[in-house]
A and B are shown apart, each in its own frame.
Chain A
Amino acid sequence: MRNAAELIKENNQKRELLNVENEKIYTDVLLYIRTDLRVDEHAAEELLMDLLDHLIEAQENGKDAQDLFGDSLKSYADELIANMPTENKRNIILLFSTGILGLVGWFALSYGILNGVITIFTPVDNKFALGSVSLILLTLLVVGVFGILFIFRMIRSSVFKPKYQEWKLYVQSALYAMVAFAFVLGVGFFFDGIGPVVQVQWWVLLMIGLTLLGLSKGLSRQTLNQ
């Protein structure tokens, strides 16, 4: 059985067979379904592949996306979602754990490398206040999750409209990223030096980062197909 990632890849290639109008409508349906976090990812990708195959065959026979999806795209997509299996709890927890481990892993890895490079030129004081570090990581996490939800919501409200306002999406995302970045910096600045201070060498950070990234990668393979 093909997994979700393979289906997504195949979907990207096959979508090029659609003409402009059909592609626009199909992509709207695809975005709307993919950004609904309740549905089972594998089931969603299988359905999207079915719909795409159907649309391609219909297009060859002179029909279009409207013949397939009907006049009310949103209510059709909602009906599909209502009948799809929901993502199981195990997968949701896995997704979150992979995300968190990955985030912290990248953080530690890049910090380690950066410190390692700086150490070549000048001695670095590798002291970390554990309380502050945890607080910053927590802030990053919250900001990240909100960011994803925020962007998904914007995508969901922009599809099914005659004219895409893509630039709006970019501007809003960029604004959010800037505010989020400033917020994280602010937390780091105002809550400096909290908790016990430990000294960690750059190569230890690098190892921690690699380990966490490895764990994250390993966990992501545990996702179940229903």
Chain B
Amino acid sequence: MTPAQDRQIPFTQRIRVRLVSAIVLLAVCPFALAVLALLTSLPESVGSTPHFMLRVYVLGSILVVVCVAMAWRFADKLLSPLLKIRGGAEIVSRINLSHRIDVTTGDELESLAADFNSMAEALEGAYSELEERVREVTVSLQGEKSRLASVLRTMVEGLVVLNEQGEVLLMNPRARAALCTGSNPALGRKLTQVLPAKRVEYHLKQLRLAWEEGRRDMVEPVIFPLVGGRLLKGVMAAMPEHNYGLAGYLLAFRDLTEEAERDKRVDMHLRKLPSMLRSPLSSMQSLAEILETRKDLPEEKRKAFAAALHGEANACLKMLGEGEEVANSMPSALWPGQPADAHSIVAEALAASKGVYAELANAPEHLPPVAAEPFGWVAAMSTVIGWLASHSSGWSPVVASIEAEGEMVVTTFSLAGAKDISPDEMNALVVEVEGEEPITLYEAVRRNRGEIWTRSHGEDFEVRLGMVKASQLPEADGGARIVDDQPEFYDFDLFQARPGFETGDLLSQDLAKLEFVVFDTETTGLSPAKGDKVVSLSGVRVRRGKVLSAGVFHTLVDPGIPIPPESVKFHGVTDEMVAGAPKMAEAFEDFKEYVGDAVIVAHNAAFDMKFLELAARENDLVSMDNPVIDTLFLSFGVHGDLQGHSLDAISDRLGVTIEGRHTSLGDARATAEILVKLIPLLAARGVRTLAEAKAFCDRMLILRWQNSRY
């Protein structure tokens, strides 16, 4: 941001001139009349003396000059506190209740200002009480929001909420992981820009139709095959508003890519296996029939048929082998595994075996994580412990030990002096868990990708359970992984979509209803024409007079030249930080997509726009021709009589706090807040539409230019 030139425009001049001329007229007219009357009533001889006339004229002139000077001073004394009061009143009434009028004239004007200040104070008190209550409600809403956020965060499904126009208002982390690429946020964009457009439109249409026909709870199953072979499957539904209108839509989906791949393989091999086997088996049957029934076959024929039979049998075996391979790769019969700690599984199993004399003898401190469904293992191990304990002579415990062996982590449960124990009994062992279907111990171990076997050392009997190391699994079930991130919320009141404007119609639209993108850049210096470059670019969306907290655009930009130390001191962006950041050409294209057809806003827009224009020109890109509005000129027009139009001065006046001043995102946010506060002030001056605002900016530009010549 270039420092604003804080100069005042003589807005008050006109009023001052009017006031002075009124006073002068009032003071001079009686004098002139008196002189006229004197001249007509004087004797001819005296009245016609030139010497006397001269004296009257000189006296009259001096009187006029004195009158004008006094009137000027008087007007100044009267006018300046009045203007102060007027400006202050406007600020208090519209934007900043903490603003106070400072008038020390010692007269009625001062007491007027004091009265006004005390009224403002009372107002502010009432307002802060109201704010306190709003804060309380907000806190409770925030609580709800964060509870909702944690539900959304842990969901295995991707979840996207759309408004009626199909624009994305919310997505949970999983949806973001599946749908978002690059620095451009999906929030605020249409779903058709994120997923295959035709399909999205088709399903939205189905939902709209169902809604209109009164089938409001319809759930539409959807599938999105994406470029690159990924497949999303889920449902869409309409969301009602509190007054039973249509608020928007919901999309819940799962990434079926892995499962689809698996299904494809299963389809290729297992499902086709029977029909693939039919032909060779058919041949085999005919050949076998011939060999069986025609005992008198010539040797040569018999050999040929036998060889053919052999060949077909081999073909069958090969197909079976392929099918087996596919069957083994299918995890559906296995429980989903997650990285788990073998030590805590064994400890839990020992603790769960109540009334059993069992203990953990030794375990290394650092065990590699195993791929397991922990509860399943705990239940299986408890069954083993219980079985061993039932064969105990009474004084010897079941002793557990854990060790890492090759690809497995093996737990050994051993019992010294085991009586009448036979490994065959293990076949009959059943893992029973309340509320679950009982399964055999072997099945429980198999489902957990484990191995179980026994070993005897003289009187000692051991049951060994092998758990597969997590590193052996290519990926612990992808679908169940938690994407550890917060969901992104758009403001939910944006269920009201932005009004769909005709492009030509944009200029006549109400400012309060328009969509703006307020942006700011940080640069290597102040002279774009002399080669200075952008180092960071941020944009914030303003819709329906609200600054949207989510869906901001922010990126560092690699300027391709070193950043001078004095600029680093200013914005804190260093060469190291921009290394690997996108180049301006890429950032520009992303930003253009982000802006879409919104109105562009910046503080001292000429400066920042220059960088965008140069970026387009230097990289042969299509430049942005959106309408541009400058908050510097807007502020100047609204408070031209007040000092200071730098971002800091305006923020201070309008009660905007800047977080992260001199970062592009912080400044863009502050500018957006300023824009939102200026809109009602502009309306009070008859500036309501975009066309009027543009004309207003242009007028201020000319005024400033004229002013700068003094």
Q: Do A and B come from one complex?
A: no
Q: Which residues of A contact B (CB under 8 A)?
A: none
Interface residues in chain B, defined as those with a beta carbon under 8 Å from any beta carbon in chain A: none
